[in-house]
Structure 1
Amino acid sequence: KSHHYGLMLAGAQVVYLDAYPLDRYGMYGAVPVKEIKRKLLELRRAGLLDRVKMLMLTNCTFDGIVYNPTRVMEECLALKPDLAFLWDEAWFAFARFHPVYRRRTAMAAARTLTENLRGQELADRYARQQQELGDDPDDDTLLDHRLVPDPAKARIRVYATQSTHKTLTSLRQGSMIHVFDQDFSHRTAETFREAYMTHTSTSPNYQILASLDLGRRQAALEGFELVQKQLEQAGVLRDAIDQHPVLSRYLRFLTTPDLIPGEFRASGVEQPLRTGLARMSEAWEDDEFVLDPTRATLHIGLTGIDGDTFKHEHLMDRYGVQVNKSTRNTLLFMTNIGTTRSAVAYLIEVLLKIVEELEDRKDQLGPPALRRQDADAARDTVVALPDFSSFHPAFRPGGRTPEGDIRRAFYLAYDETQCEYLSADEVTEAMTGGRAVVSATFVTPYPPGFPVLVPGQVVNDAVLDYMRALDTREIHGYRPQTGYRVFTEQALKEQQTLLESGNNPWAPA
């Protein structure tokens, strides 16, 4: 959510990227490098590639999908040599301290890529690429070819944000920004520091800063040992569920093939988490995406209990077990450097109590009701996850290309006369009548905490279907009693006229 507000405050014109969906489990995967290249090539065809400044991706995702940052940056720099990268590693700060994880971090990838650009091997690969592709390859060729950048032109400009307090040791809100930017000192340093001081102050935060120093020292001295224990506890948790005669009838942890389609796993290793460190290392070296072993997504569909109810009414309210995230049929558990064997044992004990209660209730049902319940539990309710629809033309300065001006839409919505509220049924009715319904706010369900709608985005049937199927209790930017806050038709007409006339009051000075 913070990314979207940051982009709004910066006045950035945003091009959203589509991650591959995992509809059966109600979650998104990650953005394939082919999708990123497709968008860059689309902007290049429109003559706008020079305006592309930064690529922002989350590594690893909340559900544990980890990118191959070296490959992503190599292929993007082959198309735009001065592109900057911002990797959100909020839940990945611990990865630096394990040799298998480390290669998939932004800072390690930046260093590796810098060294590669200075070496002969990459220069030879680039020369072969030029010979194979020729001077003017078409877009399809570029999409299907694994690209390498021109060593003479590429600049490594990489930033990573890490919430240290989430996976290492610090007081709440203790976070770090890591910088590996070859152009930082002469191009970015002053504006970076000015922006930083605009949004924070050291005066009230000395305790947090001191805790970050302590956490950094702890990680430097014993980080590998702590992360290795974290990995081991995740393995213990998985084994305890999978091998338990009762729990395994209702619960199972999702595996790499469940969460990462085969097209993104060049190594062909089906279960890198189960085949030892060497095979895991092979997958982490070659595959486009890998699964972080410390994220354990538990499929609960066979219990017949939805994720929100399981999370709140059973785990949290009854047993005090805090769950990181839920979907309609999954729960996400995460081990960290503080996870103990007793904590894992307690979780297993709690899950067993819940399952035994289910067994007791089933014993009281007659055969017809039992068959009906089992059939209902076995059938996962699949709701298609919506891709980003589009920005309305009133908020698309480029017109022909997909970027949108979130800032203009966000501040236009401050004027109440430009907005109205429509229920979901009224939105459907308006769309059926040919009206473009455009969100005036961010609409963000928790969990997972990312916007389904952003200011200026066109509402479509896929978004409405997804929102109707949600069973989360907290949705920022949407109130059932009033409905969706959208722009009036007149407001959109006026904004589009201003945009087309060149008298856009929201344009950057």
Structure 2
Amino acid sequence: MNKNNCRVLLVTSDPDFGQRWVAELQPLADNDAEAPVALDFKHTHADGLIGYLACGETQVVVLDDAGTQAEDVAAVRGLLRGQRAEIDCVLLTGADTPEVDEFECVISRAESNYGVVYRTLRRILLERISTPFADALREYVYAAKDSWHTPGHSSGDSLSGSPWIADFYRFMGEHIFNTDLSVSVKMLDSLMDPISVIRQAQQSAARTFGAEHSYFVTNGTSTSNKIVLQHLLRAGDRVIVDRNCHKSVHHAMIMSGALPVYLESSVNQRYGIYGPVPQSEIFSAIDANPGARLLVLTSCTYDGLRYDLKPIIQRAHAAGLFVLIDEAWYAHGRFHPQLRPTALECGADFVTQSTHKMLSAFSQASMIHVGDFSWRKQTMDDAGGAEFDAAGFREDINMHTSTSPQYGMIASLDVARKQMSIEGYSVLSRTLAFADEIRRHVDDATVFRSLGADDLCGEVLAADGIRLDPSKVTIDVGCAGVSAPAAQARLFTEFGIQVEKNTHNTLSFLVTIGTTESKVLRLKQALRRLSEDAQSNTVAEPELAKNSGQSLPALSSIDALPRSAYFARGEKLAWAGEGREALIGRIACDEVVPYPPGIPLLVPGQRITAEILDAIIAFTSERKDLEMHGVRSVGQEPALRVLTPAEAAVAESELRSLLA
């Protein structure tokens, strides 16, 4: 059986000891037929560490502190954590009472039984690459137990023998069905109250992603956001939030009765892209809202723009605010130095991640990560306590979790965690190289342009330290007179390529750990063909293509609590004909959202302006490629639901009373 190779590296200032250490341990590894991995032992001086860390096979680093000052050991460990946060770090020491909090394990330098040393190092690695839930699921399926419980398809037997739907069974494959099991199977634990394999899998996830606690969620980051906001907010609590956050955050504020303090994002009108909120505006909102409970930001955005989070989180914590960072698009961030620091590393209290967007989990599979709450002990001890309320958080999770979760989805979270823990650096190095190759091809071999952070952000964010996740490749085709929706359609119909999204003049490609060299070659060929056609098109109008997108409207006033507006009866008004004028100035009951990416043009409680209404009309009539959530109808005409004058008077009075 071929075994995957994993390197164990000793970092020592004593080369003679290093040689002896390797000479003792390598034969033990070579003769270990039962180990599922092949351990390769090496030693190096501290100066050689960086080269070994650049190799994905390096999985365990042992730091020898003999003859080394404590600050030098800390510096080496800092280098290790800065480059490869996911791998194990072991301290080899002669100290009687070593400082071991920052190490996975400690081994005595005087240990003469190298068999013990070898087994200890192997155990550390095998614990990291184990998948307790996925293994238990596989074991149960292969045991072939008879099903006398839900679900009704009984491991697929209701389909496999059917003359009408057996084709679907064959198409999906037997394991889709025989891993779809009931909570009656006790050996597979319970997502509602995990005590065994699911709990172990979540603990492994916390270690891998750098969290204090991690939780599996089987209904996406939309539900994850709702869980966190429900846990933190009560009616009337103020939330400082990017108005252009995902719709799930707005839904959570409707459910909680919280009062949003909306931050206006930067808007790149040229490319039709929402960017981050300027740092100065975030700081001003924190200062202007003493007693606010929570700050919510999205980092990175759908287009890959990342905040410089550390100063923002520090400012929020100093003011007593919890911080939730929506990292739905950034679950991969911890596993390559080019992508760090992550939100957790910057001090976020809660981070939600769509494990399925960039990693190897099934769709809807997400995680909630909880950070270190020590800052609250240093600043205050409010009525909710300074410690994380794990029991209360579990109840909030259970309120949103199905009692019949999909076990294959949970297993995919376990396996995706394992992959990033053991080969995250390697697969992301390949992914980032592919993204760079695509960008260079666009800039060197086509008439299009790849866009960087400066292009997407503009001058308003120039000093904010905004960075771009390189895996999100945005290409300006409008600069060559090409309509992005038309280009998207051609890529799909002529070349079999489906892009992530488009604006009026840009195409966005998501380069993931599943991207292959063949896919990159086909994309480069397709872009070259589009470029050649654009060059031969004598009627192209670059300036028109550059500026013909729908306008992104500015934020208007919030004149009712979102909860009050949403749960009002309201009235529906069509905008056709004279209806447009009747809608301007009214208070919206619903969230109006073009999807993707799910960023609202209008939220409940918001005053409708002419600019906002015209944008909604334009998106509805001109962007047939988008879903428009929240638009109602009167007869056959599109309409919006708004507060009646009487309801508006009550809602506005309620809001004034709350703000008084």
Deviations for 1:161-205, whole angstroms, at most 9, x for unmatched residues? 011111111122111111014268845222211110110146423
- On the 8 A contact 1:424/1:464 being kept in 2, the answer is no
Residue 453 of structure 2 is aligned to residue 297 of structure 1: no
Higher relative contact order (CA 8 A, sep 6+): 1
Q: TM-score, normalised by structure 1?
A: 0.72
Q: Which residue of 2 aligns with 1:130?
A: none
1:35 Cα offset (Å): 0.7
Question: CA separation of 1:304/1:85 partners in 2, compared to 1, >3 Å: closer, same or farther?
Answer: same
Q: Which residue of 2 aligns with 1:13?
A: 259
Q: Which residue of 2 aligns with 1:475?
A: 628
Q: What is the aligned counterpart of 2:492 among 294, 307, 316?
A: 316
Residue 333 of structure 2 is aligned to residue 98 of structure 1: no
Q: How far apart, CA to CA, are the structure 1 residues paired with 2:543 and 2:295? A: 43
1:71 Cα offset (Å): 1.4
Q: Which residue of 2 aligns with 1:59?
A: 299
Q: What is the aligned counterpart of 2:521 among 325, 345, 348?
A: 345
Q: What is the aligned counterpart of 1:489 among 634, 639, 645?
A: 645
Q: How far apart, CA to CA, are the structure 2 residues paired with 1:166 and 1:499? A: 38
Q: How far apart, CA to CA, are the structure 1 residues paired with 2:273 and 2:429? A: 28
3-state secondary structure, aligned to 2:508: strand
Using the aligned pairs only, state the percent identity.
36
3-state secondary structure, aligned to 2:615: helix
Q: TM-score, normalised by structure 2?
A: 0.56
Q: What is the aligned counterpart of 2:271 among 10, 15, 25?
A: 25
1:65 Cα offset (Å): 0.7
Q: Which moved more, 1:69-78 or 1:463-472?
A: 463-472
3-state secondary structure, aligned to 1:464: helix
Q: How far apart, CA to CA, are the structure 2 residues paired with 1:229 and 1:263? A: 33
Residue 356 of structure 2 is aligned to residue 180 of structure 1: no
Question: CA separation of 1:375/1:304 partners in 2, compared to 1, >3 Å: closer, same or farther?
Answer: closer
1:492 Cα offset (Å): 1.5
Q: How far apart, CA to CA, are the structure 2 residues paired with 1:92 and 1:107? A: 12
Q: How far apart, CA to CA, are the structure 2 residues paired with 1:193 and 1:288? A: 36
- Larger Rg, first or second structure (1 or 2): 2
Q: Point out the structure with the larger strand share.
A: 2
- On the 8 A contact 2:441/2:524 being kept in 1, the answer is yes
- On the 8 A contact 1:424/1:484 being kept in 2, the answer is no
Question: CA separation of 1:382/1:166 partners in 2, compared to 1, >3 Å: closer, same or farther?
Answer: closer
Q: How far apart, CA to CA, are the structure 1 residues paired with 2:395 and 2:415? A: 27
Q: What is the aligned counterpart of 1:253 among 443, 450, 458?
A: 450
The aligned amino acid for 2:310 is T
Q: Which residue of 2 aligns with 1:284?
A: none
3-state secondary structure, aligned to 1:387: coil
Deviations for 1:207-266, whole angstroms, at most 9, x for unmatched residues? 21111111111111110011111110001101111111xx22xx1111232123356445
- On the 8 A contact 1:422/1:486 being kept in 2, the answer is no
Q: Which residue of 2 aligns with 1:227?
A: 428
Q: How far apart, CA to CA, are the structure 2 residues paired with 1:177 and 1:13? A: 23
Question: CA separation of 1:261/1:376 partners in 2, compared to 1, >3 Å: closer, same or farther?
Answer: closer
1:423 Cα offset (Å): 0.3
1:358 Cα offset (Å): 4.2
3-state secondary structure, aligned to 2:389: helix
Q: How far apart, CA to CA, are the structure 1 residues paired with 2:548 and 2:334? A: 38
Q: What is the aligned counterpart of 1:464 among 613, 621, 625?
A: 613
Q: Which residue of 2 aligns with 1:214?
A: 415
Question: CA separation of 1:340/1:375 partners in 2, compared to 1, >3 Å: closer, same or farther?
Answer: closer
The aligned amino acid for 2:293 is K
Residue 562 of structure 2 is aligned to residue 406 of structure 1: yes
Q: Point out the structure with the larger helix share.
A: 1
3-state secondary structure, aligned to 2:601: coil
Question: CA separation of 1:498/1:290 partners in 2, compared to 1, >3 Å: closer, same or farther?
Answer: closer
Equivalences for residues 422-437 of structure 1 within 5 A? 422-423=574-575, 426=578, 428-430=580-582, 436-437=585-586
State the Cα RMSD in Å: 2.5
The aligned amino acid for 1:90 is A
- On the 8 A contact 2:504/2:549 being kept in 1, the answer is no
3-state secondary structure, aligned to 1:170: coil
Question: CA separation of 1:181/1:203 partners in 2, compared to 1, >3 Å: closer, same or farther?
Answer: farther
Residue 588 of structure 2 is aligned to residue 439 of structure 1: yes
3-state secondary structure, aligned to 1:465: helix
Equivalences for residues 72-111 of structure 1 within 5 A? 72-78=312-318, 80=319, 82-103=320-341, 105-110=342-347
1:490 Cα offset (Å): 3.1
Question: CA separation of 1:166/1:97 partners in 2, compared to 1, >3 Å: closer, same or farther?
Answer: same
Give ranges in structure 2 of 5+ residues lacking alignment. 1-246, 377-384
Q: Which residue of 1 aligns with 2:552?
A: 385
